[in-house]
Amino acid sequence: MNPTPLSDWPLAARARIQGVLTDIDDTLTTGGALTPDAGAALQRLRHAGLPVFAITGRPAGWSAPFALAWPVDGIVAENGAVAFWRGSDGALCRAYQQDAPTRQRHARRLQAVAHAILAELPHARLAQDSAGRETDIAIDHSEFAHLIPADTALVQRRMQEAGLKATVSSIHINGWIGDHDKLSGARWIVRERLGRDLDAERECWAFIGDSTNDAPLFAHFSQSIGVGNVARFLPALTHPPRYRTAGERGAGFAEMVDALLAARGARSPA
């Protein structure tokens, strides 16, 4: 099923939105950077009083600085495993889904799986941000190294055969141990930071993403949006987004924010 153009997003549905969940790579960012239009869109959401949480497969070490630098209420990294936010004193706070002994035990197993995959596919490469990863492994398929689709599928299958949970983002194949994913991470951060039940409020939250590892959130939220470049992954998405922006990446994110805030203005008293 092809997503509906964002221009057809009903005003009443937009006006109900009380918070935004967003992927980062190729959704919020363009070419790995937060562009001015996307950064300004985040600021507009903050000024409107709407909480924003970024949910990403990027590593803890990569994500932590942005939890302080960007106008977001928190970042959940490593596909739901670790969260960062700015404390009341301005310092960086973090929390994990798994305790330290569990993380250490899993790390040894994850590294063994990564070494086996690289031995089988010598042309494959670990993601360049791997040094910052604490709870998962990532093989690069489209960021700096490039794998053909068959090799990407093979890497994901080898991770799954080794007992890992594995997903494909727009740039990496990620593998980890545990039941968490981007959807459970979103539930966790909203509960921990806002004291709210995301499932009870799912008609009041918008999610925007771009790739197959966003499928659980696309399926869960009726107000789900794909940026224009989600077209690349639509054939592989069992649960596509409900709506799709005309713009790609950060421009698509800004387009979604414009539509959302226009609806809030329309419902305001004259």
- Tokens at residue 232, please? 């690349």
CA distance 52 to 22: 8
Q: Which CATH number goes with the domain that contains 155?
A: 3.90.1070.10
d(CA 74, CA 193): 8
What confidence tens digit (pLDDT) does each residue in 151-163 have? Answer: 999 999 999 999 9
Query: Do 8 and 57 belong to one domain?
Result: yes
The pLDDT tens digits of the residues spanning 210-227 come to 999 999 999 999 999 999
At 120, list the tokens.
Answer: 């089988």
Q: Give the global pTM.
A: 0.95
In order, the DSSP letters of 165-221 are EEEE-SSEEEEESSS--HHHHHHHHHHHHH---TTTTGGGEEEEE-SGGGHHHHHH-
Domain count, the chain: 2
Position 270 in a domain: no
Q: Which of 136, 155, 176 is the last residue of a domain?
A: 176
Residues 139 and 250 in one domain: no
Whether residues 82 and 108 share a domain: the answer is no
**Rounded percentage of the chain residues whose pLDDT exceeds 90:** 97
**pLDDT digit string, tens, across residues 5-52:** 999 999 999 999 999 999 999 999 999 999 999 999 999 999 999 999
